[in-house]
Structure 1
Amino acid sequence: MSDILFGLGNALNWINLIAALLSVSAGILVGALPGLSAAMGVALLIPVTFGMPADTALIALAGVYCGAIYGGSISAILLHTPGTSSAAATAIDGYQLTLKGQAGKALGTATIASFIGGILSTIALYLLSPPLAKLALSFGPSEYFWLSIFGLTIIAGVSSKSIIKGLLSGVIGLAISTVGMDPITGVARFTFGVRYLLDGVPFTAMLIGLFSMSQVLIMAEEKIKDKRKAKDLEDRVMLSWAEIKRIMPTCLRSTVIGTVTGILPGAGGTIAAYMGYNEAKRFSKNKEEFGHGSIEGIAGAEAANNAVTGGSLIPTLTLGIPGNSVTAILLGGLIIQGMRSGPELFTSHAKITYTFFAGFAIVNIFMLIVGLLAGKHFAKVASVKDSILIPIVFGLSVIGSYSIYNRIFDVWVMLIFGIIGYFVKKLDLNPAAMVLALILGPIGESGLRRTLILSRGSYGAFFSSTVSWVLIVMSLVSLFSPMLMEKLAEGKAAKPKAEKSK
């Protein structure tokens, strides 16, 4: 309890408050710009946080994450162009309200619902993280091996349209993870005499390349066209008390959906948003409004996708399994700060961890304030031409890659991974699976080899504990669940056709 109270007091330090406010504002800008993403914003911020205290750095990264997820709703509502993929469901009813001259009401609904989803998911972060971290204390080498397998299968299986492409993404990441010194013997592997690769591929440069430079290349190949301008607001950005009461049940329901979806690695904010939207429609007394400008539809989508932010951090911090591409990058930021996910975050680094949790709540409060006061102004940024945006992001990518170790080598790594990321996206592979494999690869390899050394080559050691068997079953379920879901979807689609034929 003392660590929790210390964290709350430390998060209210003026430096942390300024970091939260600035990062949220920057995140909203990134989210409101169609073509950019939360992952891209967080990847670009990591070099900036390198010299910060660990707690301030984590709060800043969380601010960009939360701000970007919310920011996507602004351009979705005012321009019918979702700033992020998780805001696609928000555009359905949000833009309809804009056409009716009620854009302010739509923005107010999105802001309040986003705050409720984000702040309540913080409670889940407080309640569920310590027990999961305690469970991780019982993990030995064999359990860590199966945990890495589970993380790879669930990301590869769930977050890609094709299981084969998802697994291929994971294999590429695993191959990259073998570069550097052997974790057991210390022998150099695949470094080709380059001393900068002894510690592995520069992580930050690789992240910036995969998520930022690749997007620059994709934007550059498209024809530069004028973006439409956001309409002027004709009403105020706030809801009446009656409207807040109306959307509250939807927000609470969607918060649960979003938090659970966030805890399940690979599902992501887009899936949560559509689930929240569909459930809002199912429980609504005004179903006819959906698709024509329903504040319940906006609330359902926004509360769900913002609740994912807190939910996705739970497996990331406790087990080292990122819930999505953003938390995979956040995990990299954690490693850069000299911290690793697991029990140590709640023992040796408890003060920093609980400062981060309190900072996460503060970030959501700032998001509410900034959204209500300045949300309509952020929409103007969405009309910035790609011809202006591309050189800015390119410059930030180069500066960010160079600034960590002041090496031109890292810039070349960033450019190479930018090209790799370009083809990864073009071929519909999964960059998040690649990053996760890069993180989990050394853990899995170390667990495999340590188990064999301790058991003197006996493979039975991998099946000797209950935790191992639970992880094995979970890995199999996560690997085959996409096929089962596809068959269920085909079955549901076939039923209406059969009924029509009768």
Structure 2
Amino acid sequence: MGVLDYVLAGIVEALTGNPALALGPLILSWPVLMVVSGFLTGVLIGAVPGLSGPFAMAMALPILISAFGFSSDALLPVMGFLVGIMKGATLGGAVPAILFNIPGTPDAFMTTLDGYPMAQKGQSRKALRVAQFASVTGDSFSDLVLFVCAPFLAISIELFLGLSEKAALMILSLSFVAVVVGSDAFRGLLAVSLGLLVASVATGADAYPRLSLGSDVLAAGLPTIPVIIGLLVVSEILAGLAELRRDRHKARAHAPTPDDQSGLSWAERRALLPFIGVSMSLGTLIGALPGIGSTLAAALGYTAGRKMHKGPVPFGEGTPEGIASCEAANSAVSGANLIPALSLGIPGNISAVFLILAATSIGGFNPGPSVFRFTQDQVNPELVIAFGLFTLMVVANLLNWATGARFMEMLGGLIRVPRHILLPIVLLLTLTSVYVEGGAMMDVIILLIFGVAGCLMRWSGVPILPFVIAYILAAPLEMTIRNAFEASGADPWFLFHGFFSPACLVLAVAIIVFSGWLRAGRRAA
């Protein structure tokens, strides 16, 4: 099969495979239905302060796996729903930032600087339209870069890099994430080390369970979904409840000034394109690097837009260019973050973590260079799934173009949901979803244990994302190192052969040594 054959096979699999409803020649497939449902759910979740896309993805993943099972037909519906949430939540996060000056996520803080002043001037509808236009443009551009770069990068790595080079590249990625995420390199390295340690419990190629302490529970290995959801979601819920207890008298958000119902003309859209172009390029470049995230992208995009701006209303006082700059940048991160996830198997952000977790839990799709292997004599089913996933991302973008602005305007009332009611409900749903997926109370206990551990990590300043990425990469890293060691004839210096592998290791050490300079650069940005 050629490249075009695989692309067409992926499109057909996404749009007509696994039909949910068939009316004559018209077929509504489960993957399309799930990506639409995920997008609408994501916009709803993103519009509620205190919730985010990873919250919804964490709650949905165990339920989706239980509903669709572990067959290959479940891959596209499950990942389509998660992709829909990822895209919808990015769009919905601008609603509370603009209408009520409440950033639902850290990167939405930059949107409040110009979005809320516009809402106070009676231009909330225009501000929402600007946010939607910039967000979907940046997201679409980032997805196009993903579609082109992920296969090219994976094929290049498969052709030119051996086992030792791939192992060194994973070590470099872990070092980079440890340094970039968090307040200092020591805490980042500690988080990575703890992630590798926890992942080593009862796993590996040894004939006996490791680090099980004689416990039958640990001998079976820690379930991945409860560990990750506990760290990422339950810890955030518990931290949010603790914050509510400390701050019981927080002021309520004021309603925006009545809107003048002004939309966004084509001339105004054309005027925003230079700002969107620069910001989405920055966001795409930042998103392709594991672990940096959309907060830095939003800050850099906003800074670049402010330097370009020559209009009568300065940045920070309610100019559409300010909203467009940060929304295009943080939305462009989402697609680019999947470049290392799909081509290397290295998650770039939390959303990518859940996509990889879904793929590995269901089976039949292992993100990495082997996915994009174009075989002529036989069909590569993983490549069909990859192009099917790309098709679903296009469907989500088309839905965003068509309905995103209208849907955003309908969600202002969600801001009034009290967090002291919302957070316990989310916690209950999370506990239920994990129990439904695993069917064992031990999964819930492990979920709560790692939720408390995540709280302790947050309060002590130890970043959680490096822990999670290290936990995900531990198994492929160990397998690659073992295979490289065996292939070298048990040479203890197998990682120092050639040029690329030693260069990655030297660069990993250099990143740690110069971590202070990197953080200073991020603060300056």
Aligned to 1:163: 185
Determine whether 1:282 maps to 2:307: yes
- The answer to whether the 8 A contact 1:229-1:380 is kept is no
Contact 1:212/1:393, CA 8 A, preserved across alignment: no
Look up the SS of the partner of 1:188 in the other structure.
coil
Partner amino acid, structure 2, of 1:95: Y
In the alignment, what sits opposite 2:24? none
Q: Deviation of residue 436 (structure 1)? A: 0.8
Give unpaired runs (5+ residues) of structure 2: 17-27, 69-73, 374-379
- For 1:384 and 1:149, the matched residues in 2 are separated by 44
| Cα shift at 1:344 | 2.8
Cα distance change of structure 1 residues 430 and 488 upon mapping to structure 2, 3 Å threshold: closer
Would the aligned equivalents of 2:296 and 2:522 in 1 still touch at CA under 8 Å? no
1:395 equivalent among 428, 432, 443: 428
Amino acid at match of 2:509: L
Please state if 1:141 is matched with 2:163: yes
| Equivalent in 476, 491, 495 of residue 443 of structure 1 | 476
Are residues 1:427 and 2:452 paired? no
Q: Distance in 2 between matches of 1:489 and 1:148?
A: 23
Match of 1:461 in 2: 494
Q: CA deviation at 1:237?
A: 7.0
Q: Give unmatched runs, 5+ long, in structure 1.
A: 494-502
Amino acid at match of 1:12: L
Alpha carbons 1:148, 1:443 under 8 Å: kept: no
Match of 2:515 in 1: 482
The alpha carbon displacement at 1:379 in A equals 2.5
Query: Is 1:28 the counterpart of 2:43 in the alignment?
Result: yes
Could you tell me how far 1:356 is from its partner in structure 2? 0.6
Correspondence for 1:117:
138
Q: Which of 237, 249, 252 is 1:216 aligned to?
A: 237
Shift of 1:199: 5.2
Q: What's the secondary structure of 1:185's corresponding residue?
A: coil
The C-alpha deviation readout for 1:459-497, integer Å capped at 9, x for no partner, is 33211133313422442354345322345689x89xxxx
- In the alignment, residue 10 of structure 1 is paired with which amino acid? E
d(CA) in 2 for partners of 1:158, 1:44: 28
Q: Distance in 1 between matches of 2:120 and 2:9?
A: 48
- Measure, in 2, the Cα distance between the counterparts of 1:165 and 1:425: 11
Q: Does structure 1 retain, via aligned residues, the 8 Å contact 2:120–2:257?
A: no
The answer to whether the 8 Å contact 2:298/2:326 transfers is: yes
Match of 2:91 in 1: 70
CA distance in 1, matches of 2:205, 2:471: 17
Following the alignment from structure 1 to structure 2, what is the Cα–Cα distance between the partners of residues 286 and 293? 11
Task: Find the residue that maps to 1:83 and give its secondary structure.
Answer: coil
Larger mean Cα displacement after TM superposition, 385-394 or 263-272: 385-394
Tell me which amino acid in the other structure corresponds to 2:144. Answer: I
State yes or no: 1:308 paired with 2:330.
no
Paired AA for residue 168 in structure 2: W
Match of 2:122 in 1: 101
For 1:174, which of 189, 196, 220 is the aligned residue?
Answer: 196
SS of 1:289 mapped into structure 2? coil
Is residue 343 from structure 1 mapped to residue 369 from structure 2 by the alignment?
A: yes
Find the aligned partners of 1:369 and 1:16 in 2 and give their Cα distance.
19
What is the aligned counterpart of 1:86 among 107, 113, 133?
107
Q: In 2, Cα distance between the equivalents of 1:134 and 1:287? A: 49
Any residues of structure 2 matched to 1:192-203 within 5 Å, and which? 192-198=213-219, 200-203=221-224
Paired with 2:251 and 2:110, the residues of 1 have a C-alpha distance of 24
Length, aligned pairs only = 491
Partner Cα separation in structure 1 for residue 45 and residue 127 of structure 2 = 20
CA distance in structure 2 between the partners assigned to 1:89 and 1:357 by the alignment: 29
Say which of 7, 12, 16 aligns to 2:10: 7
1:16 aligns with 2:49: no
TM-score (norm 2): 0.88
Shift of 1:289: 2.1
Inter-partner Cα distance in structure 2 for 1:40 and 1:238: 32
Kindly state the Cα deviation for residue 314 of structure 1 after the two structures are TM-superposed.
0.2
Q: AA paired with 2:103?
A: P
Q: For 2:513 and 2:189, how far apart are their aligned partners in 1?
A: 12
Query: Share of identical aligned residues, percent?
Result: 31
1:406 to 1:487, Cα distance in 2 relative to 1, 3 A: closer
Could you tell me whether the CA contact under 8 Å between 2:142 and 2:335 is conserved in 1?
Answer: yes
Q: CA deviation at 1:45?
A: 1.7
1:320 aligned to 2:341?
no
Judge which range, 470-479 or 245-254, deviates more.
Answer: 470-479
Which string of whole-angstrom CA distances, capped at 9 and with x for unpartnered residues, describes residues 260-279 of structure 1? 10001121101001111111
Per-residue deviation, residues 122-169 of structure 1 (Å, max 9, x unmatched): 110111011111123244332232122112111110111211111111
The answer (yes or no) to whether the contact 1:35–1:215 under 8 Å persists in 2 is no
Q: Quote the Cα distance in structure 2 between the aligned partners of 1:190 and 1:459.
A: 24
Partners of 2:262 and 2:372 in 1: CA distance:
40
Does residue 361 of the first structure (1) align with residue 364 of the second (2)? no
The CA RMSD measured in Å over matched residues stands at 2.1
Instruction: Indicate how the Cα distance of structure 1 residues 41 and 489 shifts in structure 2: closer, same or farther if over 3 A, else same.
Output: closer
Is the aligned partner of 1:59 residue 2:99? Answer: no
SS at the partner of 1:231?
coil
TM-score (norm 1): 0.92
Q: Which amino acid aligns with 1:62?
A: V
Residues 332-359 of structure 1 deviation map (CA, whole Å, 9 limit, x = unaligned): 1221121221123224311111111111
Residues 120 and 173 of structure 1: CA distance in aligned 2, closer, same or farther (over 3 Å): same
> Which range moved further: 226-235 or 99-108?
226-235
CA contact (8 A) 1:262 1:309 kept: yes
What's the offset of the Cα at 1:194?
4.5
Report the 3-state secondary structure (helix = DSSP H, G, I; strand = E; otherwise coil) of the residue aligned with 1:184.
Answer: coil
Aligned to 2:286: 261
* 1:382 has 2:404 as partner: no
CA distance in 2: counterparts of 1:2 and 1:209, whole angstroms: 42
1:6-44, CA deviations, whole angstroms, 9 ceiling, x for partnerless residues? 323333342222211211111112222222222222222
What one-letter code is carried by the residue in structure 1 that aligns with 2:50?
A: G
Amino acid at match of 2:455: Y
Residues 157, 481 of structure 1: 8 Å contact kept? no
1:249 is aligned to 2:270: no
Whichever residue aligns with residue 15 of structure 2, its letter is L
The answer (yes or no) to whether the contact 1:272–1:305 under 8 Å persists in 2 is yes
**1:356 to 1:198, Cα distance in 2 relative to 1, 3 A:** farther
Query: What's 2:263 paired with?
Result: 238
Q: For residues 102 and 352 of structure 1, do their structure 2 counterparts lie closer, same or farther at Cα, with a shift above 3 Å needed? A: same
* Larger mean Cα displacement after TM superposition, 281-290 or 250-259: 281-290
Q: CA deviation at 1:287?
A: 7.0
What amino acid is aligned across from residue 2 of structure 1 in structure 2? D
8 Å contact kept, 1:36–1:215 = no
